[in-house]
Amino acid sequence: MAQRELLIERQRSMKRFIMQWEWLLLLIFMMIHVVNSFLSPYYLNFNTFIRTPMTFLDKSFLVLPMTFVIILGNIDISVGSTVALSSVIMATAYNAGVAMPLAMLLCLVVATTCGLINGVLMVKFKELSAVIVTLSTMTIYRGVAYVILEDRAAGNFPNWFSFLGWGSIAGIPFMLIMFVICAVLFGILLHKTTFGRKIFGIGNNKNACIYSGIETNRVLLWVSILTGLMAGFTALFLTSRMGSTRPNVAQGYELEVIAMVVLGGVSTAGGKGKIIGPVLAIFIIGFLSYGLGLVNISAQVLLIIIGMLLIISTMILNIRFKRMKKPRVLQS
């Protein structure tokens, strides 16, 4: 009996440790606000708080499905190219006479298809790692975008289209509202549905799941479809913010998104993580970059700061995790 009580108590304190990653992120987030306020008198006003999220939210839509992908133990570096391709097709279609709402739908369809292709390739050719599949599709999708638009830009969207990236409802940016809705949906999907549990399971031990009858292929396909769909949303918002598009948009997005996900406490070994982590990480990196930009820190120093932030925060968390790991070994 005493043994069992010990187990439960250890588990509770273990739960606290698991929670700690997200608490630490919250702490960092608040500290950044303080530091930023000290740095620049322009930081603390309502306009800044409205404007700042809009600068980093467009790629944040990708962070949500990428969390799923990484918990699964995979990776997807083709998201930037999917954004570019769907954006280019939308713009070309609109300029060819297709009605704007239909063009926007086309954007989402193209993006989802790109994600689906990724999923099908990974399912049909299990020998291939996610890296090589998404690496080749990354090149192919952007290549197609280049074939379509070549060296031109495409834009001239109707005026109401800029509302997506620039507009607000009751003072709150539209992008922020949409992002919060998506984050909540993804959070529910991950933590409260069997689909989410399956994702954790596959990430933890894929073979065990296959042998337990979980349809891993279907889960993989759905995650890829979701990734594509969110890339489509990103394309909509990004294109709205720029008012035009070219084949070279959204370059480098994949690494930024992955950085936000891993900073959010999702392990690339798979099987661990909560949605709130990456969401906090998005806001941390976003507000930090913005606040430092308000005092006109040079790009090179910003690079160093963000790099160190990634490394140091993970180091601190690992030291905490070390304390947690020991009891587990002793137990078994």
Partner 1 sequence: MKKRVLLMSIIIVMIAATLFAAGVQEGAKERHAFVFKNTGNPYGEKQMSGFEDGIVEQGFEAILRAPDLPTAEAQIQIIEQLISQNVTSITITGNDFDALEPVMKNAMAAGITVLSADSAVNPASRKTHINQADSEMIGRTLIRAAFDMAGGSGQIAILSATSQASNQNLWIEWMKKELEDPKYKNIQLVRVAYGDDLRDKSVAETEALLRTYPNLKVIIAPTTVGIAAAGKVITDKNLQGKVFITGLGLPSEMAEYIENGACPYMFLWNPIDVGYLSAYAATAVASGKITGKVGDKFSAGRLGEFVVTQASDGGTEVLLGPPFRFDPSNIAEWKTVY
Partner 2 sequence: MVSDRKNLRFKTENFRELGLLLFIILLSVLIQFRNPTFLTFSNIETLLINASILSILAVGMMMVLIVRGIDLSIGSTIAFSGMISAMTVASYPHIHPLISILQGTLVGSGVGFLIGLLVAKFKVLPIIATLGMMNVVRGFTFLVSKGRWISAYQMSIPFKEIATGRILGMNTLVVIAVVIYSAFYYFINHTRTGRQIYAVGSNPDAAEVSGIPKIRIIWMVYILMGALAGLAGVLWVSRFASAQGDTAVGYEMNVIAACVLGGISISGGSGKVSGLILGAVLFGILNNALPLINVSPFWQQGIQGVVILSAVLINVMVKRTNERQALRRRII
The β-bridge partners of 155 are 244
- Is the separation of the CB atoms in 78 and 200 below 8 Å? no
**Structural contact between residues 193 and 219, judged by C-beta atoms closer than 8 angstroms:** no
Instruction: To the nearest 10°, report the CA torsion of 222, 137, 254, 261.
Output: 30
Report how far residue 135's alpha carbon sits from residue 138's, in angstroms, rounded to the nearest whole number: 5
The option from partner 2, partner 1, none interacting with 249 (CB < 5 to 8 A, set by class) reads: partner 1
| Binding of partner 2 by 141 (CB under 8 A) | yes
Contact assessment for residue 248 and residue 37, using Cβ atoms and an 8 Å cutoff: no
Q: Is 139 among the residues that bind partner 1 (CB under 8 A)?
A: no
Q: How far is the CB of 42 from partner 2 (least distance, A)?
A: 24
159 near partner 1 (CB under 8 A): no
Using rule CB under 8 A, residue 155 touches partner 1: yes
Q: Burial of 55 by CB count in 10 Å (0-12 exposed, 13-18 middle, 19+ buried)?
A: middle
In angstroms, what is the minimal distance from the CB of 11 to partner 2? Answer: 23
Site membership for partner 2, residue 45 (CB under 8 A): no
Which of partner 1, partner 2, none binds 241 (CB below 5-8 Å, type-dependent)? partner 1
- Rounded CA-CA distance 55/167 in Å is 13
Total residues at the site for partner 1 (CB under 8 A)? 51
Is 150 among the residues that bind partner 1 (CB under 8 A)?
Answer: yes
Smallest CA-to-CA distance from 89 within 252, 254, 251, 246 is with 246
Instruction: Return the residue of 143, 187, 243, 327 that touches partner 1, per CB under 8 A.
Output: 243
Q: Does the protein bind partner 1 through residue 151 (CB under 8 A)?
A: yes
Helix (H) or strand (E) holding 245: strand 244-245
- CA proximity to 246, closest of 85, 40, 11, 118: 85
Whole-angstrom distance, CA of residue 179 vs CA of residue 184 = 8
From CA 153, how far away is CA 172, in angstroms rounded? Answer: 31
Near partner 2 by CB under 8 A: residue from 14, 49, 143, 162: 143
CB 58, CB 175: distance < 8 Å: yes
| Stretch near partner 1 under the rule CB under 8 A, chosen from 97-105, 203-211, 286-294, 318-326 | 286-294
Q: Does 144 bind partner 2 (CB under 8 A)?
A: yes
Nearest Cα to 222, choosing from 254, 186, 192? Answer: 186
Q: Whole-number minimum distance, CB 209 to partner 2, in Å? A: 17
265 in helix, strand or coil?
coil
Q: Is 263 in the site for partner 2 (CB under 8 A)?
A: yes
Q: Which residue has the tokens 């936000």?
A: 260
The residue range among 93-101, 160-168, 178-186, 309-317 that interacts with partner 2, by the rule CB under 8 A, is 309-317
Of 172 and 303, the one with the shorter C-beta distance to partner 1 is 303
Indicate which of partner 1, partner 2, none lies near residue 310 (CB less than 5 to 8 Å, by partner kind). partner 2
Applying CB under 8 A, does 180 fall inside the site for partner 2?
A: no
Q: Give residues in contact with partner 2 (CB under 8 A).
A: 77, 125, 127-129, 131-133, 135-144, 146-147, 150-151, 252, 255, 258-259, 262-263, 267-269, 298-304, 306-311, 314-315, 318, 322
Q: Give residues in contact with partner 1 (CB under 8 A).
A: 23, 27, 30-31, 33-34, 37-38, 40-44, 47-48, 51-52, 54-56, 146, 150-151, 153, 155, 162, 165-166, 238, 241-252, 289-290, 293-294, 296, 298-300, 302-303
